[in-house]
Structure 1
Amino acid sequence: MSPTRTTLPVIAYFSMEIALEEGIPTYSGGLGVLAGDMMRSAADLGVPMVAVTLASRAGYFRQEIHDGAQVERAEHWDPALRCRRLPLKVVVRVGSRDVWLGAWQYDVPSARRAQMGVPVILLDTDLPENNEEDRTLTHWLYGGDTTYRLRQEIVLGVGGVRMLRTLGLKVQKYHLNEGHSALLTLELLRELGASEASGPLLDEAIANVRSQCVFTTHTPVEAGHDRYSYPLAEQWLGGLVDPRILRSLGGPERLNMTRLALATCGWVNGVAGRHAETSRALFPGYEVHAITNGVHAQRWTSEPFQMLYDRYIPQWLHEPELLVRALRIPQDEIVAAHAQAKNALLDSVAGLAGGSRLDPSLCTIGFARRMTDYKRPGLLFSDLERMRSIARRFPFQVIVSGKAHPHDQPGHRHIEQLHSWAGELADTIPVVFIPDYRLEVARRMVSGVDLWLNTPQPPLEASGTSGMKAALNGVPSLSVLDGWWIEGWEEGITGWAIGIDGGDHDAHRHAASLYEKLETTVLRTFYEHRPAWSMIMKSAIARNGSYFNSHRMIRRYASEAYWG
């Protein structure tokens, strides 16, 4: 679908990052992957949407590991090789200069409608009309300093609205995926002639904007939201709105992009039930709904399982909820499909395992997240001697992957420590770190490991989606009760819980619970009760894969947030 060929009202989905396909580095992690999955489901279901993001010509970064340490390399890509340039330009005032924006179009294909799809508009400032500094504004995803980030958010929010107008699209709702695009609401105020309004006229204009805007927040801690000093914001916004309006909407001390979005969006949601509760406490006075995230079933299901589902549940691709029928699939076929996916994963990491191939008969634990403190990537390795003791009874191996933000020094140290622990455990427990975590690495991991591990610090996991992807492939989770797992967890049926759901956030107790559950229940079941294990695999598919998918998620957005 071309945005220049449709006259239907559309939902305009704004996201700083969107994972489109392998080789297009316009995402950094879960937020972008979620956005990409949502666009795929919109295409499959025929939801009239258009997405707006940045071209990110230099990507996030490509991760290399040198002597156990992360090294970042730019990941340049040429939009001309994957997208179509649109013959339109718009201009945005950024500080004291006019910045011209071009655009590329990428069409997210539909699995069932050959002529349909969802267009993604990638904004690009790398134009000859701009000076050298402004040409790089859409190069580095989350790069640069605070000023660079603010200028990018002006391009995304203000420039994105202007580009959609120039394309002639009639927008029914604007969906802000996190606060990075919140400045679009100020552009809508300006369009209404209220950039310098006050009193009833301003109130009416804000109500009008609120009726058009939907906001999804993903961050459950105040410190995680983009904030800018008002002098800095006023310097770069180029008089978009009167400073007093900006200060009244953006928070008392600094321009908080989440508070701006909350004040100007009429429908707000968190990404899991627990996350919505946390957000209500963090921002009292706002109604925060809950729509739990989901993942695109086709994108994250391995080939062996896709063929299995095609045989036993023919319509699963278009109606993932039919995966509840996975319980009727013979267990030996579930086991065989997983064995194929596991062998593919082990083949792919053979060169990283000291030149040898990991043992397919061993229970393989997978952990892959952004490397940062609250994800607690070292929780499994809290007591190396305990790990060795467990492995002497029930041998296991571990595959890990994940990037640290270039400016997150604790995250860098986590990666270095993981490599150090891998060396210490080499004689007992194989531990392999896969560098440069990306779409294809994630797809192999979630389908090829036997157990998915997640160890966040509650209540800081907004939702998490990696365990949902694993469930589509019959891989159960062992996870702290936070985010989506509170909703997906059925002890011994879909997986197992670490700790208890009673506000116990102590890392030492969580580690003790992890080791106890791993030794006495999880590994014992894997090695000594294989029929029970394969039944848990089927239950993970039937109970979690059937529900935690992006088709269900976007249907809820459509019925409650867009047209409810």
Structure 2
Amino acid sequence: MKALRRFTVRAHLPERMAALDRLSINLRWSWDKPTQDLFATIDSELWKQVGRDPVALLGQVSPKRLDELAADEPFLHQLDELAAELDDYLSRPLWYQQQLEHGAELPNGIAYFSMEFGVAEVLPNYSGGLGILAGDHLKSASDLGLPVIAVGLLYRSGYFRQSLTADGWQHESYPSLDPQGLPLRLLTDSSGSPVLVDLAMPEDSELRARVWIAQVGRIPLLLLDSDIPENDHDLRGVTDRLYGGDQEHRIKQEILAGIGGVRAIRAFTEVENLASPEVFHMNEGHAGFLGVERIRELIDAGLDFDTALTVVRSSTVFTTHTPVPAGIDRFPVEMVKRYFGGPADERSREGHRSSDQSHESSRLLPGVSLDRIIWFGAEDDPSKFNMAHMGLRLAQRANGVSLLHGKVSRGMFNELWPGFDPGEVPIGSITNGVHAPTWAAPEWVELGRELIGNDDIDTLREPAVWEKLHEVDPGHMWWIRSQLRAKLVADVRARLRRSWLERGASEAELGWIATAFDPDVLTIGFARRVPTYKRLTLMLRDEERLEALLLDTDRPIQLIVAGKSHPADDGGKALIQQVVKFADRPEVRHRIAFLPDYDMSMARQLYYGCDVWLNNPLRPLEACGTSGMKSALNGGLNLSIRDGWWDEWYDGENGWEIPTADGLADEGRRDDIEATALYDLMEKSVAPKFYDRNEHGVPTRWVEMVRHTLIALGPKVLASRMVRDYTEKYYAPAAQSLRRTVEPGADGEPFGAARELAAYRERAAEAWPKIQITDVDSYGLPDTPLLGSEMTLTATVQLADLAPDEVSVQAVLGRVDASDVLVDPVTVPMQHTDTADGGNYVFTTTAPLPVAGPVGYTVRVLPHHPLLAGDNELGLVTLA
């Protein structure tokens, strides 16, 4: 019979071993191998059975074994050392504190919001790259000492567990998670009662959530949980599954994450007596509603809507992860109105009411027109509310996740900055990174410690440390790679056996698995989510040719494939089934396998052991693609389309570029061309280099590529580099912007600078339709202009009610194409030199001609204010 409810009872630890509880509850153990080794010594078999989960281990280990360990002096000595080391890690000054000591102006706190976090497999709150990236962000922020508070949702069934049916179709199951059996603690008030976050829902209902805390090193991760008795039955399921349910379900999740997340932070900082974060970082648009909640807080504090929006924008960072509009959450406008409209909140004060009373007032922002909220998500389809647009309109700073993705994003969101070329759209880029202690094989970490001469792997951030790999003998590097490949083969055989048994095979049929895959054969990995653009089945475009590569007698290849398709994506499931059916064939099943239930533990083995990491998306639809970074961190060579991070860091010696047929309208022909290029590379470049051995059996050319990959890519792919980039380029400027924005005005009034900027924005918006460039003249060029010849430009501008120092007038010069469109122009500021009658102002500049060939120029006017991040921020421009 089945239990009605499942819960976890933890063992009572002997007092001498109480530190085990602290070590188990802080997820730093997930990237600290000595701590993992300590837990393994408690009961090595049980450690494996519970999936290397310290909390589960301590819940199931026998009291007798704990009593034995309480008298085991070597164990206790190791426990004391690790507990002291954790305390030191949590308290000593790290990079962030060192920057403050050197006078850097950094935020006193950062709030990081994401819908998923892949911190450890024991906390399955992730589906793919976005979540793993968020987890790595937190771990590196902890290692660097950043004062981050992270916010997400606790999904009682996580994403899903994947298995295969007999005919290779994906099957999903949703095991229920017990928070008390996870490395979590409940946020409670001074009386010990759980803190509840509550939100008003339509039809006068109330959504409440508890707040669980996952401690990720120094970083508290707040996870909101709606499955509590205080909620009605239908609202208990809001946090049931990650990316499950319909749009109604999804908007509830995103309102809870954004609005509830801000309220959870306020409750947490009050309970813990911490300063509230200055900077708020939205990792994708899912948490965009956090900006609305922050505006509400400021309105409650006495600000008007526009001033509150100004303060919120100054301190918000938005990161987009999708290169296609289809990847953005878009809700029906009527749905958003239903959740945010309705009767004004009784807690409102009359003094908060704005002047736009002709429209329905927002329930969340009493006295503010609902249209103001709807505008945040406005797009070209008036019936849709676009969460990415909301993120961009609520954030003063935004970025993509690779150089190429930043460029793609500037084009994709160009409509929000009409009149600007895509290259001028204010979306930058921070290329993603990966957390080395989580993803680097212990063998490479140990080699690093030997080269450094101590245990401080934090120095891996410095490129000079990676240069020490030049000292390592090629034979030793090959030995490490071979050891890791052999371990992967053993893991693949075990997973293959489990999968075939789940699909209905008998043990008697599975004798072939004992020799499936070969620790000496070139091993290629392909593992990721399975949306169409990642092209899981490109490798099967010519099945006969693939089979020939797999079974080559002299230079065979073996392929390991894994990945989950979204439960509602039957097209993705069909792609998985196609791979499974090919891999099931007796002729090739010892050389290719699809492994179900791709998760962090499987991924780690693949990154460790694969010689080559394959990635063949439709360019440019891969925003970054961090799996290839993790492979490179372990000496794997990338075989990839030039997309995402590979586009900027491929150098010809760290792997292979699969040529692309970008822009080809016939998708089938494009796939044929790129698949053929892939087969050619594997046959004529990759395999020959792997199997070309010296007299000691070492493929010296291959090993030199491995060495070069580690030296060239090692310091670049680190998440510590990524988090430092965010800190220096986004967090610090956002904090500085906030501090300037909230300064008192000349009359000492609080938020005076914000009020003044809000007033300027309103005046600029009103004046802009009236601004005109009435005359442009050029002079000073010789009859035959030469490169570098100087030209003087003057422009007469009608500024309506704005002053000359409230605008930026620019000359734009550059090469022109056949249609007289400026190509890669340069901008030159023009100075106010004279005032004409009727509110006309004269601006002048002298500039050298920047290029040879057909050259053109124009003049434009942009708004200018010292508290704007840039003159393009408001999206206003007037062209001559």
Aligned residue for 1:20? Answer: 119
Report whether the alignment pairs 1:146 with 2:247: yes
Worse overlay, 349-358 or 14-23: 349-358
- The answer as to whether partners of 1:297 and 1:317 remain within 8 angstroms in 2 is no
SS of the equivalent of 2:514 reads coil
**Equivalent residue runs for 1:54-203 within 5 Å:** 54-67=153-166, 68-81=168-181, 82-87=183-188, 88-96=195-203, 97-109=205-217, 117-167=218-268, 168=270, 169-193=275-299, 201-203=304-306
Shift of 1:311: 0.9
Q: For 1:138 and 1:195, how far apart are their aligned partners in 2?
A: 31
| TM-score normalised over the length of structure 1 | 0.94
Q: Which of the numbers 717, 727, 730 marks the counterpart of 1:548?
A: 717
Structure 1 vs Structure 2: percent identity of aligned residues? Answer: 37
Aligned residue for 1:49? Answer: 148
Aligned residue for 2:409? Answer: 279
Aligned residue for 2:726? Answer: 557
Q: How many residues align?
A: 550
Q: Which of the numbers 368, 371, 380 marks the counterpart of 2:527?
A: 368
Q: For 2:386 and 2:461, how far apart are their aligned partners in 1?
A: 38
Letter in 2 for 1:21: A
**Equivalent residue runs for 1:254-273 within 5 Å:** 254-273=384-403
Aligned residue for 1:246? Answer: 373
Aligned residue for 2:808? Answer: none
Deviation string, structure 1 residues 510-558 (Cα, Å, up to 9, x no partner): 1111111111111110012510001111111111122111000000000
Q: For 1:462 and 1:27, how far apart are their aligned partners in 2?
A: 18
Letter in 2 for 1:488: W
Q: For 1:370 and 1:37, how far apart are their aligned partners in 2?
A: 18
Report whether the alignment pairs 1:237 with 2:340: yes
Q: Whose RCO is larger (CA < 8 A, sep 6+)?
A: 1
Aligned residue for 2:137? Answer: 38
Letter in 2 for 1:43: S
- The answer as to whether partners of 2:661 and 2:674 remain within 8 angstroms in 1 is no
Q: For 1:173 and 1:428, how far apart are their aligned partners in 2?
A: 52
Aligned residue for 1:303? Answer: 442
SS of the equivalent of 2:278 reads strand
| TM-score normalised over the length of structure 2 | 0.61
Unaligned runs of 5+ in 2: 1-21, 27-89, 92-106, 189-194, 342-362, 418-424, 498-511, 694-698, 734-880
Q: 1:514–1:194: structure 2 CA closer, same or farther, 3 Å change rule?
A: farther
- The answer as to whether partners of 2:136 and 2:435 remain within 8 angstroms in 1 is yes
Report whether the alignment pairs 1:514 with 2:617: no
Q: 1:464–1:425: structure 2 CA closer, same or farther, 3 Å change rule?
A: farther
Shift of 1:425: 7.1
Deviation string, structure 1 residues 220-244 (Cα, Å, up to 9, x no partner): 0011100001111111235224320
Report whether the alignment pairs 1:440 with 2:576: no
Worse overlay, 295-304 or 234-243: 234-243
Worse overlay, 414-423 or 436-445: 414-423
Letter in 1 for 2:490: D
SS of the equivalent of 1:405 reads coil
SS of the equivalent of 1:228 reads strand
Q: For 2:711 and 2:580, how far apart are their aligned partners in 1?
A: 36
Unaligned runs of 5+ in 1: 110-116
Letter in 1 for 2:469: A
- The answer as to whether partners of 2:404 and 2:648 remain within 8 angstroms in 1 is no
Q: Which of the numbers 638, 641, 646 marks the counterpart of 1:477?
A: 638
- The answer as to whether partners of 2:117 and 2:125 remain within 8 angstroms in 1 is yes
Q: 1:460–1:546: structure 2 CA closer, same or farther, 3 Å change rule?
A: same
- The answer as to whether partners of 1:453 and 1:479 remain within 8 angstroms in 2 is yes
- The answer as to whether partners of 2:374 and 2:385 remain within 8 angstroms in 1 is yes
Deviation string, structure 1 residues 321-353 (Cα, Å, up to 9, x no partner): 333432332221211112221111111111417
**Equivalent residue runs for 1:247-396 within 5 Å:** 247-252=374-379, 253=382, 254-284=384-414, 285=417, 286-313=425-452, 314=454, 315-321=456-462, 322-351=465-494, 352=496, 354-357=512-515, 358-391=517-550, 392=552, 394-396=555-557
- The answer as to whether partners of 1:63 and 1:403 remain within 8 angstroms in 2 is yes
SS of the equivalent of 1:262 reads helix
Deviation string, structure 1 residues 5-30 (Cα, Å, up to 9, x no partner): 99x93100000000121221100011
Shift of 1:428: 8.0
Worse overlay, 288-297 or 493-502: 493-502
Report whether the alignment pairs 1:524 with 2:679: no
Aligned residue for 2:86? Answer: none
Shift of 1:196: 13
Q: For 1:64 and 1:151, how far apart are their aligned partners in 2?
A: 29
Shift of 1:389: 3.2
SS of the equivalent of 2:299 reads coil
Indicate the RMSD between aligned Cα atoms, in angstroms: 2.2
